[in-house]
Amino acid sequence: MSPRGVATPDVRERLFAAAERVVERDGPGALTSRAVTTEAGCAKGLLHAHFAGLDEFVADLCLDRFARTAAQAQTLSQLTGQGTVAGNLNAVALALFDSAGPALSGLAMSRPATTRQIREALEGGAPGLAAIEEAISTYLTAEQRLGRVAETADPSTVALAIVGTAHHLLMTSWPGTPDPRPAMKRLVAMLVDG
């Protein structure tokens, strides 16, 4: 436990990672500010010192994870012509399911104030599924020019199908349900390998 009055390095990420562990291990209902700070091994008031409350904390956690995946999706263009198209796409699509993604999505959707904060941030330009979709479409267009994606494929539609399926799987998966990753991999393979 960090002593009082001592700065906690990388406090946001430390709290976010602790929240993911709590949700993954004990389910969304177990997520409280006390559970997060206990898991993080820090002072009980630390979460409230950095966030207006649990709703803001969960919204910021979800937005942070969306931004990470969107940044990863932006790197797809650097992979054009390398590896396999399906493998490159899977790395991005499956990242949405890392770090307790389905459980966090369910948690966010069950908290109206959190959902509102996430929606407002996305409307304000925060990176989310739309940024991921755009990056995938741009990548597929570049791969199509190299002949690694069929000429008949519509990159925008394929990107929408991948992101839409990921969103659906995130919203319908929770602890105890089958792992959504195999379904995501099958979809990506079907869309790009035909």
pLDDT digits (tens, 9 = 90+) for 132-144: 999 999 999 999 9
Contact 23, 31 (CB under 8 A): yes
CA distance 46 to 162: 38
**Number of Cα atoms under 13 Å in the Cβ half of residue 61:** 31
CA distance 178 to 194: 25
Neighbours of 115 (CB within 10 A): 16
Q: Where are the alpha helices (DSSP H) in 75-180?
A: 85-95, 101-109, 112-123, 129-145, 155-172
Helices 11-26 + 101-109 axis angle, to 10 = 90
Q: What is the pLDDT of residues 50-85, one digit of tens each?
A: 999 999 999 999 899 888 888 989 999 999 999 999
Contact 69, 47 (CB under 8 A): no
Q: What is the pLDDT of residues 79-100, one digit of tens each?
A: 999 999 999 999 998 888 875 6
